[in-house]
Amino acid sequence: MNIIPLLRSAVIIMIPLLYAGAGGLFPALAGTLNIALEGLLLAGAFSALAVFYHTGSLAAAVTAAALIPMMLSLLHSFAAFRLRANVFIAGLAINLFSGGLCIVISEKIFKTRGLVVTQAISGLPKWYLFFGLLLLAIAWLVIYRSPFGLRLRACEKNSAALISLGISPQFYQTIALLISGFFCGIGGSFLSLNLGAFVPGMSAGKGWISLVVIFLGGRKPLGIFAAAFVFGLAEAFSNYAQGLWSLPGDFFLAFPYVFTLIAMIIISIFPKKN
């Protein structure tokens, strides 16, 4: 087995998990787990490709990919905190809304509900990986070395103390959801721009796996990086193994999700350490 192509593939698969996991960390620490990561990744992927298709500008594409999921996150926050909807149901609604919206807009703009192709951009993985690690380091500083991070974590552990100081926990939870949208949008842009195409549903469960990445990584930035790489390696291995062993293809396609299930079981067995 040639290890270098396997590791390269693992890194490429890891990148959207890294961004979505880092973004989802903020709401998780604020006590409002964001299960809309799947839809946010998909919205970022479509926004980036649509803008790049018409402008040819990578900067404009990534900017659009960051802003559109943030708008969806604002809608998520409005439904959950203003309209008092259940935050998890609101997150599921964003997932469904995002998937449907991408198809509808694709039909209007590209006259298709399926594959949309544009020029692929070379050299993206190394830049996205570098920027992702930079954002992860900034996230660590914000969470553990700033007043904002202290108040954010207090939303989950002692929201009554914040309220007694005249600080609204919902404000910080809203900001956390917006940060989540920003990270997921950039991660989603990598999915489409690196491939040079958009396919409905191309997030392919990565948002859900990112939720596992958050907890498998101990809800810490460095742990998220390690967990994202492990999941990337698991999927890369399943892709690589299809050409080595004469087993049903469905077995290999299911391997990353079986790995996710095992990871969730392990998380539930071992007690959380604060």
pLDDT tens sequence for the chain (274 residues): 578 888 899 999 999 999 999 999 999 999 999 999 999 999 999 999 999 999 999 999 999 999 999 999 999 999 999 999 999 999 999 999 999 999 999 999 998 888 898 887 888 999 999 999 999 999 999 999 999 999 999 998 888 889 988 899 999 999 999 999 999 999 999 999 999 999 999 998 899 999 989 988 889 999 999 999 988 888 888 777 766 666 665 666 676 677 767 776 776 676 555 4
Give the number of domains in the chain: 1
Range of the domain at 135: 15-203
In-domain check, residue 218:
no
Q: Which amino acid is located at 41 in the chain?
A: L
In-domain check, residue 251:
no
In-domain check, residue 244:
no
In-domain check, residue 139:
yes
Round to whole Å and give the CA distance between 38 and 201: 9
Dump pLDDT digits (tens) for 19-42.
Answer: 999 999 999 999 999 999 999 999
In-domain check, residue 274:
no
Query: C-alpha angle 5/52/113, rounded to 5°?
Result: 90
In-domain check, residue 185:
yes
Dump pLDDT digits (tens) for 240-272.
Answer: 776 666 666 566 667 667 776 777 677 667 655
The DSSP call for residue 272 is P
Round to whole Å and give the CA distance between 212 and 200: 23
In-domain check, residue 74:
yes
In-domain check, residue 269:
no
